[in-house]
Structure 1
Amino acid sequence: MTTFEEQATVHAFRDDALGEHDAVGLAAAIRRGEVGAAEAARDAAERVRDVEDRLHAVQVHIDAPSHAPGPGQGAFAGVPTFVKDNTDYLGLPTGHGSTAFTPRVARRHAPFARQLLSSGVTVLGKTRLPEFGFSPATEYEAAEPVRNPWNTGYSAGGSSGGSAALVAAGAVPIAHANDGGGSIRIPAACCGLVGLKPTRGRVVTNAQSRQLPLDIVSDGIVSRSVRDTAAFLAAAETHWRNPKLPPVGLVEGPSERRLRIGFLVDSPNGVPADTATRTAVMDTVATLERLGHTVEPVELRLDPRFTDDFLTYWGMLSFLLGVTGRTLGADFDRHRMDGLSRGLREEYLKSWRRTPGVLRRLKRTREAYAAAFRGLDLVLTPVLAHTTPRIGHLSPTVPYATLVERILAYVAFTPVNNVVGTPSISVPAPSATEEGLPIGVMFSGRPGSERTLLDVAYTLEADRPFRRIQDA
């Protein structure tokens, strides 16, 4: 690939059925009869073909989508989308981004796939992710990485990197994502999108998550507008709602409520944010204050062992995959897992006896989190400690010790919400890197506080609309 291509901005926006619609806008056009669902699917597939040779975001295409409902069947009836390739979709293989096995074709939809389909979307295929979703960059040992459409020399983030790249490039309005340590919010930040990790139990839980000693994974979407994310949550609730959580309903814009918001710029585990990231957070603080919110510094006092404990838990997940991998494919070979997965597993085997203490401490993190929120509605932080890295910086070909050091210096804010089970949203900051890449800022809340998160995200979007790739 040439140097010019590595530095290209790639988008698919054009005058077709999709136009510049977000998912809410496209669904409305379909309901009004201005656009047909089949036409929208056809034009989205064409957009995907136009960008795929430069973004490498797609794992599987569906030549003739079978789920193309008519107008009125769901909030997103007829809106084209993709499912992430760690979630079963009837008739398609589930590869988990791994070459350690030959994927089997799914015999049924995963519970979350059914919930997503209930909104009326038309699924066009599956998006790529790093092996088993472990990495914050969607890169591989022996395959093309998923590239950032704002600048293809840079990472699209991970693990929902394929989904984020397609949405940011305008190929589809929304795409499925899930988050076990930041994997919705990280690629949203890298690609200038909205990415909400819901409260644990807000959407249906897949079987694998229910088997974990600590369920850290939540499903959702990445989108280009706050209203798409809000509409997704409302639609998901019409399929299934957790009675233990307050309903979200349809949030349609900012409220008049003035919030008390804490902020921190350097991570609780001591990783400092870089200059561009600090600027993005402090600019957001100034905007919130100008709009009448009260913003004040806050401390989140985590156990000093939190980072090591989360890394141990991460390693345990890789170890369990190595043990149970034949349930994914009869030819599963843990030795064919990539360098990050193998390294996590090998390190876990050195310290597995710590597991009971690790789990106890991680579960106690909710106490420190709750203490930080006393008197506050939300907490504002960076999504990531530094701006989007170049392709290769977080490649699984990097020696394990160096790679983990780099990951921990990058992913320093997002895992807390996965451990505690609280909701958190990434929204684009008005500022960008010197290379024009997006920077994300993150708001976190108490369990069940998605309405408040959407409220503040709407407020920022209305005050200064998010940057558009077609204007870059």
Structure 2
Amino acid sequence: MTTRVHAFCDDALGDLDSVGVAAAVAAGHISAREAAEAAVARARQLNPALNAIQTPDFERGLAASDTPAAGILSGVPSFVKDNTAVAGLPTDQGSLAVRSRPAAADAPFTEQFRSTGLGVLGKTTMPEFGWNASAEWATLPPTRNPWHTDYSPGGSSGGAAALVASGVVPIAHANDGGGSIRIPAAACGLVGLKPTRDRVVPAAEASSMPVDVVSNGVVTRSVRDTAHFIAGTQQFRPAAGMKPLGLVEGPSDRRLRVGVVLDSVTGAPTDDDTRAAVLATVDRLTALGHDVVTVPIPGDAVRFMGAFKHYWSLLAFSSHHFGKQAMHSPDFDKSLTDPLTRGLARSFVRNAWRTPGAVRTLKRSEQVYRDAFTDVDVILSPTLGYVTPLLGHLNPSVDFPVLFQRLVEYAAFTPLNNASGSPAISLPLEQTADGRPIGVHFSAVHGDEQTLLEIAYELEADRPFARIQD
């Protein structure tokens, strides 16, 4: 029997999204303090069932809500993921090996996040260093999916997605180095936009990466929340070198040419439920007047996936062997890293000679990806290779070769956007027979978040997203 949990009730937050909360605060119907108090009460009620909060910071968050920052979402309570610095809080990267000291200052992205008016009530859970696509640990209780608590919430932004889907807050920070915004959005029935590389302030670790694969963003319950957030970030720092992005407020009259990809770069077939979700979306797009055509996977899929897997291992090796420097954690103890991190690090050591070729392949993927849009406006695909699994399926204690293959097949569709730096969005368009969300994925050419948001608005209006409280 499905175990569904949520915190929606008749309090200051009600069932409002972020735009609704900000409007209520601006109109004086509620105060930012009342919104924050409602979120804290919801968090205290629900977190024992979800395990989605890494570090609560309720008292400081409540105090700050008395004078909320100005911004497009002023007065809305939220959380930041545990891999991004918040002044006064540790940044433990979801790992028992890290014992970080409270950050002296906000990360640059945290400043941008706050500039939209969002308040911070603490930090959310994530799997160790973000390597896993499920918020699980070898020796600690997992974060649970509020739609069905026996199932994974996805990862790595699993805690953020669980809090937003369950109604604790309407919006939360997430970031994406291989799908970590879009994967939990798909698993938890949310909107998850991975922006174009450098659309928002880069992650702190970006400058040390041979290929910057990480983008910051949010997970939300409505398209307009995502649109307002990304517009707000541009007021803080407009993105250089790409088309300006203002506030996208609804669908476009323009009809699109949509390319469809059903099977992933791994060669593993997409599962029946996920395949059916994409085909149902094709039918909806066709009925709405869009031109839908089948297109091939961009570029050499086998070579790309091999390169990305190696790069994944390289980053894990760096965290495992240089954790004191990389995590700014003088007490870092690599013997406490989990089996997935250690397995990835060993894989890198065995294949270190592949590094120059892998980096070249990933850097070339930007042009390969751009070339795929010569005849289509967007590409439609599954977000995931299969619907979100039961907890344990992706636990880091699973034998490494088995786990790694499961992860590669699960997260097969999302990494190309990270390597190429392109934007993509997961939308909660379908469900399994027992009511678990299925995400459907749209990708666009670099800098074209506007088209992604417009098609998202259109599909949301055509059939509103399922609500956990119904």
Settle same-fold status: TM greater than 0.5. yes
The match for 1:305 is 303
Query: 2:29 matched to 1:34?
Result: yes
Following superposition, the deviation at residue 69 of structure 1 comes to: 6.0
Q: Return the offset for 1:405.
A: 1.1
In 2: Cα distance, 1:107 partner to 1:324 partner: 21
Which residues in structure 2 correspond to 1:79-94 (within 5 Å)?
Answer: 79-94=76-91
- Secondary structure, in 3 states, of the residue corresponding to 2:259? strand
Partner of 2:115: 118
Question: Given residue 8 of structure 1, which amino acid in structure 2 is its aligned partner?
Answer: T
Q: CA deviation at 1:363?
A: 1.3
Q: 2:268 and 2:91 mapped to 1: Cα distance?
A: 36
User: Is 1:56 aligned with 2:51?
Assistant: yes
Aligned to 1:194: 191
Structure 2: how far apart are the matches of 1:389 and 1:162?
Answer: 16
Q: Which moved more, 1:234-243 or 1:457-466?
A: 234-243
Cα distance in structure 2, aligned partners of 1:43 and 1:214: 41
In the alignment, what sits opposite 1:294? 291
Partner of 2:440: 441
Given that 1:268 and 1:302 are in contact with CA atoms closer than 8 Å, whether structure 2 keeps it comes out as no
C-alpha distance in 2 between matches for 1:101 and 1:233: 31
Superposition deviation, residue 73 in structure 1:
1.3
> Is the contact between residue 266 and residue 408 of structure 2 (CA under 8 Å) also seen in structure 1?
no
Q: What residue is the counterpart of 2:468 in the other structure?
A: 469
Partner of 1:458: 457
Query: For residue 348 of structure 1, what is the amino acid of its counterpart?
Result: F
Identity %: 51
**Aligned residue in 2 for 1:369:** 369
1:71 offset after TM fit, Å?
6.9
Quote how far apart the aligned CAs of 1:301 are.
3.8
Where do 4+ consecutive residues of structure 1 move more than 3 Å?
69-72
Matched, 1:401 2:401: yes
- In 2: Cα distance, 1:326 partner to 1:444 partner: 37
Tell whether the 8 Å contact from 2:35 to 2:76 is kept in structure 1 after alignment.
yes
Please give the alpha-carbon distance, in whole angstroms, between the structure 2 residues aligned to 1:365 and 1:71. Answer: 42
Distance 2:389 2:406 in 1: 10
The equivalent residue for 1:10 is 5
Instruction: Kindly state the Cα deviation for residue 122 of structure 1 after the two structures are TM-superposed.
Output: 1.2
Structure 1 letter corresponding to 2:435: G
**Does structure 1 conserve the Cα–Cα contact (< 8 Å) formed by 2:197 and 2:422?**
yes
Q: Distance in 2 between matches of 1:75 and 1:301?
A: 37
Q: Contact conserved, 2:55 with 2:124, CA < 8 A, in 1?
A: yes
**Counterpart amino acid of 1:419?**
A
Find the counterpart in structure 2 of residue 25 from structure 1. 20
Report the alpha carbon displacement of residue 372 of structure 1 after superposing the two structures with TM: 2.0
Deviations 1:356-388 (A, max 9, x none): 011111111223322321111000000001001
Q: TM-score, normalised by structure 1?
A: 0.97
Measured in 2, the distance between the counterparts of 1:335 and 1:315 equals: 17
Find the counterpart in structure 1 of residue 319 from structure 2.
321
Gaps of 5+ in 2: none
Q: Distance in 2 between matches of 1:233 and 1:13?
A: 25
| 2:80 and 2:173 in contact (8 A); partners too | yes
Normalising by structure 2, report the TM-score: 0.97
CA contact (8 A) 2:6 2:46 kept: yes
Distance of 2:143 and 2:170 partners within structure 1: 18
Alignment of 1:246-395 (within 5 A): 246-303=243-300, 304-327=302-325, 328=327, 329-395=329-395
Distance in 2 separating the partners of 1:72 and 1:354: 48
Q: 1:206 offset after TM fit, Å?
A: 2.7
Query: What is the CA distance between 1:28 and its match in structure 2?
Result: 0.1
Contact 1:30 1:71 in 2 (8 A): no
What pairs up with 1:138-217 in 2 under 5 angstroms? 138-217=135-214
Contact 2:138 / 2:397 at 8 angstroms: preserved in 1? yes
Which blocks of at least 5 consecutive residues in structure 1 are unaligned?
none
Tell me by how many angstroms 1:63 deviates: 2.8
Structure 2 residue matching 1:175: 3-state secondary structure: strand
SS at match of 1:219: strand
CA displacement, residues 281-314 of structure 1 (integer Å, 9 cap, x when unaligned): 0110110110111110001243222222111101
Partner of 2:71, secondary structure, is coil
Q: How many angstroms apart in 1 are the aligned matches of 2:106 and 2:375?
A: 43
Deviates more, 1:63-72 or 1:182-191: 63-72
CA distance, structure 2, for counterparts of residue 385 and residue 205 of structure 1: 28
Amino acid at match of 2:400: Y
CA contact (8 A) 1:269 1:302 kept: no
SS of match in other structure, 1:83: strand
Q: Is the Cα contact below 8 Å between 2:258 and 2:377 reproduced in 1?
A: yes
Following superposition, the deviation at residue 420 of structure 1 comes to: 0.2
1:436 corresponds to which letter in structure 2? G
Query: Counterparts of 2:66 and 2:247 in 1: how far apart (Å)?
Result: 22
| Aligned partner letter, 1:459 | E
1:74 corresponds in structure 2 to: 71
Cα displacement (A) at 1:255 = 1.2
Give the aligned CA root-mean-square deviation in angstroms.
Answer: 1.2
Conservation of the 8 A alpha-carbon contact between 2:9 and 2:15: yes
1:233 and 2:230 are equivalent in the alignment: yes
Once residues 69 and 465 of structure 1 are traced to their aligned partners in structure 2, the CA distance between those partners, rounded to angstroms, is 34
1:237 Cα deviation after fit: 0.4
In the alignment, the residues of structure 1 paired with residue 189 and residue 207 of structure 2 have an alpha-carbon distance, to the nearest angstrom, of: 31
Count of residue pairs the alignment pairs up? 465
Deviations 1:325-369 (A, max 9, x none): 113321212221101100000110011111001111111122332
Q: Secondary structure at the match of 2:343?
A: helix
Partner SS, residue 251 of structure 2: coil
The worse-fitting range, judged by mean Cα deviation, of 195-204 and 311-320 is 311-320
